[in-house]
């Protein structure tokens, strides 16, 4: 998508070319009175758009022509004196809009905090925090005999040394204000005004001595500071990749530059922040989806003004403005969470590589299980690989054992040998971790008489039983329903849960080991803000004996007391139709296996499978990811699959059963009006593997090419035709460049 400069006859007045947040692949021109100072591209402007007023971003300024003067609407307001999007970042966003063939206005919208998108000032309002004083903390219990609400609020403030905001107090007691005023008058509570996010220093941690492998990696990366080079840091789990990151960050800070660190999950931020606070006495800007609008604006402003030398965040942080960029680090670079799956479908890792190239700084992609894309880039000389083949200290890689479920009974998904191993760890005071990538109590609810399964009424899927809430939920669309009292198909059968989720395994462990402290960590148990941090603190403090969790536990966490990892239902992804399924399965199990034996005590991994002879489990047992990756790359090359070909997936959906597929057929016909050569292949239009989701019927069409440039030339032509097609107005459609999910 291009915003081309218009060449016109010079006049005193100017024209602003503006990208507005609308699903249109073009920019719009607006007139500006000649007395208005000319701002730089990247400032926000308020403009009329149809019957609305929108906040857009100025892309360029050029001279107004007499013809333009007669038909252009005027800019209503210039909102900034300085660009909110610096020139380098604006250039990156324009590249991303062209590469992913997405409207520029929506791409720019994704890079700005919500408050700025609404036209507010790019400044941070300070927030009020209420704190318990020393007098309030020491108040006698009998002082609250007739004031239970005062006691409740004081107790909450004592448990929050940093204080609580108005919103947090409202969650505790909606009528808190009058009570807090009385506590302030007594001198038990004080009010402070400060920034919504502060970065208190953590306890200073000793700096470990680097291993020879870490020294080699550090020297290679440090030599590239000040210039672009892409590094793949391939280190086995617990090999000290994070320590290499910290050493690189230290050198970047010495150069008075900023470091941008990307992590795939919010759950990985607490431990990294704790380590950084213990190492560096500088503000850290943290960006992720759980922040309030004010918190996100504050972190964004710290990064933009250069007041935060370290910027840490999840996927969208790749667009954080940096005043003095020095290095970009992408941890767990293989993780599919870096790919945005709706709206502006970018891949944060790939955008980060392009940003580093454009900024002229090095980028470090770290992983114990690198993506096949990155390994291909190493083979072609685009990336330089540095390796950490050994664990730090005395830690050894865990021994991997396979449990053949064809010869073993299961008790709520747990085989007897695995239960015995858990018992041994309990007797030795060690921790165990059980990994099951399926939340809820049971994946289906079934009638035992006629075999009827409770379906989702909006998706081609079954409802998952959640025992804690006694509800049935769809994990695809979020639909929620009560438990049926009888089978609607046969009218008599009794309904029972079938299969295992993390809730069921948690309950089973509590029955088998009633004295053990079982802790479940999944999306359901960590919905409340701060819940994940609290659970991780309990693990670190030794307040849990057995951990049960989903992929939230599979990567990045350092649990030194965990010596046993059990992988349940490991075969789940073997039955997938996705060609990437085996790669993702191996990566996931390698990652969760790496949680075992990270301390002085050796670890073991026990994998339950019905297919112990499958090549995937052979690779896991030998712990030779490199051999598996090279075999899979050769297989992909022979089959002409990515990363040796390039894909674009056109998706459409509609509440009407046939509309999406009809549009895809129109799109297939339109494709032959565009420049197709021997490198670009357009597949047939087909219904999506899950055709009905959230009440909408879906279809898709895949385009494949052996080279990138011909693919993008084809897509530019094709999208122009699809934008004009009447059938496209009757469906919701989108294009996904480099898709990672073909569903």
- pTM of the predicted model, to two decimals? 0.87
Together in a domain, 310 and 252? yes
Residue 478, token pair as written in the block: 């979020």
Q: Where does a domain end: 365, 388, 411? A: 388
CA-based R_g, the chain, Å? 28
Provide the percentage of residues in the chain whose pLDDT is more than 70: 95
> Beta partners for 58?
18
For residues 308-327, give the mean pLDDT.
Answer: 96
Residue 66 has pLDDT above 80, yes or no: no
637/641 Cα distance (integer angstroms): 6
> Beta partners for 371?
none
Q: Where does a domain end: 610, 634, 658? A: 634
Residue with more model confidence, 391 or 586: 586
Together in a domain, 218 and 352? yes
In a domain, 32, yes or no: yes
Residue 520 has pLDDT above 80, yes or no: yes
- What pLDDT sits at residue 490? 87
In a domain, 290, yes or no: yes
Q: Which of 306-320, 402-416, 462-476, 593-607 is the least confident region? A: 593-607
Together in a domain, 289 and 360? yes
For residues 250-254, give the mean pLDDT.
Answer: 96
Assign 258 to helix, strand or coil: strand
pLDDT digits (tens, 9 = 90+) for 643-668: 999 999 999 999 999 999 999 999 99
Together in a domain, 242 and 134? no
- Containing structural domain, residue 578: 399-442+499-634
- What pLDDT sits at residue 8? 41
Together in a domain, 612 and 678? no
In a domain, 202, yes or no: no
Cis peptide before 463 (omega within 30 of 0): no
- What pLDDT sits at residue 6? 42
For residues 167-188, give the mean pLDDT.
Answer: 85
- What pLDDT sits at residue 320? 96
Together in a domain, 341 and 262? yes
In a domain, 434, yes or no: yes
Q: Where does a domain end: 88, 117, 146? A: 117
In a domain, 504, yes or no: yes
Together in a domain, 148 and 113? no
- What pLDDT sits at residue 163? 81
In a domain, 727, yes or no: yes
Query: Residue 30 is part of a domain; what is its CATH number?
Result: 3.40.1440.60
Residue 494 has pLDDT above 60, yes or no: yes
- What pLDDT sits at residue 1? 46
For residues 104-123, give the mean pLDDT.
Answer: 92
Q: Nearest 5°: CA angle at 480, between 474 and 486?
A: 95
Residue 201 has pLDDT above 60, yes or no: no
107/339 Cα distance (integer angstroms): 15
For residues 374-379, give the mean pLDDT.
Answer: 97
Together in a domain, 656 and 730? yes
For residues 482-510, give the mean pLDDT.
Answer: 90
In a domain, 58, yes or no: yes
pLDDT digits (tens, 9 = 90+) for 350-376: 999 999 999 999 999 999 999 999 999
CB 27 within 8 A of CB 17: yes
Q: How far apart are the first and last CA of the chain?
A: 26
Query: Residue 718 is part of a domain; what is its CATH number?
Result: 3.30.70.600
Per-residue pLDDT band at 272 (split at 50, 70, 90): confident
Together in a domain, 653 and 577? no
Average pLDDT, the chain: 89
Per-residue pLDDT band at 701 (split at 50, 70, 90): very high
In a domain, 494, yes or no: no
Count of structural domains within the chain? 5
Residue 710 has pLDDT above 70, yes or no: yes
Together in a domain, 60 and 142? no
20/25 Cα distance (integer angstroms): 10
Per-residue pLDDT band at 204 (split at 50, 70, 90): low
Residue 109 has pLDDT above 80, yes or no: yes
CB 300 within 8 A of CB 320: yes
Residue 607 has pLDDT above 90, yes or no: yes
Together in a domain, 157 and 265? no
Per-residue pLDDT band at 142 (split at 50, 70, 90): low
Residue 91, token pair as written in the block: 């250039």
Together in a domain, 113 and 143? no
29/370 Cα distance (integer angstroms): 45
Residue 194 has pLDDT above 80, yes or no: no
Residue with more model confidence, 159 or 425: 425
pLDDT digits (tens, 9 = 90+) for 9-61: 444 578 999 999 999 999 999 998 877 888 999 999 999 999 999 999 999 99
539/61 Cα distance (integer angstroms): 56
- What pLDDT sits at residue 5? 45
pLDDT digits (tens, 9 = 90+) for 568-580: 988 888 888 888 9
């Amino acid at each position: 998508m291009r915003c081309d400069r218009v060449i016109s006859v010079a006049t005193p007045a100017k024209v602003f070319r503006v990208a507005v947040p609308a699903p249109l692949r073009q920019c719009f021109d607006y007139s500006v009175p000649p007395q208005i100072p000319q701002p730089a591209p990247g400032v926000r402007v308020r403009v009329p758009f149809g019957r609305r007023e929108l906040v857009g971003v100025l892309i360029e300024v050029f001279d107004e022509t007499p013809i333009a003067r007669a038909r252009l609407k005027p800019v209503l307001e210039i909102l900034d004196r300085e660009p909110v999007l610096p020139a380098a970042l604006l250039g990156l966003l324009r590249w991303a809009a062209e590469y992913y063939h997405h409207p520029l206005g929506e791409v720019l919208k994704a890079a700005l905090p919500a408050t700025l998108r609404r036209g507010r000032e790019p400044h941070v309002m300070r927030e009020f925090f209420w704190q318990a004083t020393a007098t309030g903390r020491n108040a006698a219990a009998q002082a609250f005999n007739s004031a239970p609400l005062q006691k409740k609020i004081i107790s909450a403030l004592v448990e929050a040394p940093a204080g609580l905001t108005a919103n947090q107090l409202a969650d505790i007691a909606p009528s808190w204000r009058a009570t807090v005023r009385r506590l302030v008058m007594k001198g038990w509570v004080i009010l402070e005004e400060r920034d919504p996010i502060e970065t208190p220093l953590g306890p200073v941690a000793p700096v470990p001595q680097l291993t020879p492998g870490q020294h080699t990696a550090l020297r290679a990366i440090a030599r590239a500071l000040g210039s672009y080079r892409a590094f793949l840091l391939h280190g086995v789990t617990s090999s000290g990749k994070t320590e290499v990151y910290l050493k690189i960050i230290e050198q970047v800070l010495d150069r008075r530059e900023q470091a941008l660190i990307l992590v795939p999950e919010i759950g990985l931020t607490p431990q990294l922040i704790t380590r950084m606070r213990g190492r560096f006495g500088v503000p850290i800007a943290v960006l992720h989806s759980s922040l309030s609008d004010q918190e996100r604006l504050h972190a964004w402003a710290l990064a933009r003004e250069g007041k935060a030398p370290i910027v840490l965040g999840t996927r969208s942080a790749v667009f954080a403005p940096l005043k003095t960029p020095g290095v970009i680090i992408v941890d767990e670079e293989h993780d599919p969470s870096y790919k945005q799956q709706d709206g502006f479908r970018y891949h944060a890792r790939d955008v980060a590589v392009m940003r580093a190239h454009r900024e002229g700084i090095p980028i470090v992609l770290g992983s114990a299980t690198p993506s096949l894309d990155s390994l291909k880039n190493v083979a072609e000389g685009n990336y330089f690989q540095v390796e950490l083949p050994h664990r730090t200290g005395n830690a050894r890689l865990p021994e991997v054992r396979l449990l053949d479920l064809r010869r073993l009974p299961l008790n709520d998904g747990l085989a007897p040998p695995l239960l015995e191993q858990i018992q041994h760890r309990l007797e030795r005071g060690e921790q165990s971790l059980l990994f099951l990538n399926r939340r809820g109590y049971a994946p289906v609810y079934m009638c035992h008489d006629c075999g009827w399964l409770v379906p989702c009424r909006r998706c081609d899927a079954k409802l998952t039983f959640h025992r804690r809430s006694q509800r049935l939920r769809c994990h695809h669309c979020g639909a929620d329903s009560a438990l049926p009292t009888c089978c609607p198909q046969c009218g008599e059968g009794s309904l029972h849960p079938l299969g295992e989720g993390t809730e069921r395994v948690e309950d089973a462990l509590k029955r088998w080991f009633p004295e053990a402290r079982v802790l479940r960590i999944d999306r359901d148990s960590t919905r409340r803000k701060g819940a994940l941090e609290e659970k991780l603190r309990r693990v670190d403090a030794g307040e849990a004996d057995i951990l049960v969790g989903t992929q939230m536990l599979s990567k990045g966490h350092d649990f030194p007391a965990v010596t046993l990892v059990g992988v349940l239902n490991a075969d789940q992804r073997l039955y997938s139709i996705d060609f990437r399924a085996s790669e993702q399965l191996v990566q996931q199990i390698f990652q969760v296996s790496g949680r075992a034996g990270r301390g002085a005590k050796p670890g073991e991994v026990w994998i339950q499978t019905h297919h112990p002879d499958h090549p995937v489990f052979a690779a896991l047992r030998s712990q030779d990811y490199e051999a598996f990756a090279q075999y899979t790359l050769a297989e992909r090359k022979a089959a002409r699959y990515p990363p040796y070909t390039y894909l674009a997936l056109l998706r459409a959906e509609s509440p009407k059963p046939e509309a999406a597929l009809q549009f895809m057929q129109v799109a297939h016909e339109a494709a032959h009006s565009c420049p197709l050569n021997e490198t670009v292949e357009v597949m047939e239009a087909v219904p999506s593997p899950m055709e009905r989701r959230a009440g909408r019927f879906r279809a898709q069409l895949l385009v494949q090419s052996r080279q990138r440039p011909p693919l993008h030339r084809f897509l530019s032509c094709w999208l122009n035709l699809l934008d004009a097609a009447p059938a496209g107005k009757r469906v919701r459609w989108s294009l996904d460049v480099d898709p990672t999910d073909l569903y």
